[in-house]
Amino acid sequence: MSIGFLKFVALVCMILDHIGEFVPDSPIWFRYVGRLAAPIFFYCSAWGLYYTRNQRIYILRLYILSLMMSLGNIILTIIFNQKSFLTNNIFQTLFIGSVIVYLLNRKNTLYYKFSMCTLIIIQQVVAFLLCAVFAEFLQIPHSIDIFALYHSYGPLFASAIFTEGSVAFVIFFIVLYYLKDKKGYLSLFIIVFTIFLEVAIKRTYYMRGPMSYLIPFSLYQWLMIFCIPLIYAYNGKKGIGLKWFFYFFYPIHIWILYIFSNIRIQ
């Protein structure tokens, strides 16, 4: 399979997943199939970051798209006066992961990489504090709850915690990038990652507070392990492009399904 074909496979999985998420009484197996979407898109994005002519523009594009999607999520939440905020924004996860990869790859010395890791940790602490200030103290806008506010400011300040998949998926993307051409090691990593994630989910699933931000996964997230055969099917070719189609289809189809579900409920 080419990257283009893998993207379409992920697209179908994603559509089923979001129908299962937003449309009441949808078959539960829609959500099961949907667990394949994120890891496949991450794999395709890792190669996209590697092959792009200008990584800075690639990263900037992801940042702008993450802000646009966050703004759209806020507007829809306010329009329908919902407490359940749209947290779907994979652009932010890809943006933060891509920035970290870009920074770590600029120089190959141990001192540089240690310095970059230190700066990234400091930036993440500052980003968390800024999200807390705007969400907890300023509460702007007042029409949505605290959980929604944290996820609204997460893309603005590039906080890894308040992303779709939280820190776990950011780390997943970074490791996946470095193992993208080593399918054996990548498969082993996915298996180990899935096991640790499954243990963490079962121990924190019914918890509230910080755990709801750090481990925002369903009980069937382990099904993402079945992305491995699809990764092995990658033939090293780009295939059909349609870059902008995938960029815009993602937020638009989520917003349409969200609107449909709310109109149907009302």
Distance CA 166, CA 88 (A): 11
pTM of the model: 0.91
For helices 166-179 and 90-105, angle between their N-to-C axes, nearest 10 degrees: 50
**pLDDT of amino acid 216:** 82
217 torsion bin: left (phi>0), alpha (psi -120 to 50), beta (else): beta
Contacting residues for 261 by C-beta, under 8 A, at least 6 apart: 22, 23, 24
List per-residue pLDDT tens for the chain, 266 residues long.
889 899 999 999 999 999 998 888 899 999 999 999 999 999 999 999 999 989 999 999 999 999 999 999 888 888 887 656 788 899 999 999 999 999 999 988 999 999 999 999 999 999 999 999 988 888 877 777 787 888 888 999 999 999 988 899 999 999 999 999 999 999 999 999 999 999 988 887 766 666 677 888 888 899 999 999 999 999 988 878 788 898 999 999 999 999 888 886 55
**pLDDT of amino acid 265:** 56
Structure tokens at 101: 């990869």
Contacts of residues 36-39 at CB distance under 8 Å and 24 or more positions apart, as own/partner, are 36/9, 36/10, 36/223, 36/224, 36/226, 36/227, 36/230, 37/10, 37/11, 37/13, 38/90, 38/165, 38/169, 38/224, 39/172, 39/176, 39/190, 39/224, 39/227, 39/231
**pLDDT of amino acid 69:** 93
Q: What's the angle, vertex CA 200, arms to CA 194 and CA 205, rounded to 5?
A: 115
**pLDDT of amino acid 209:** 64
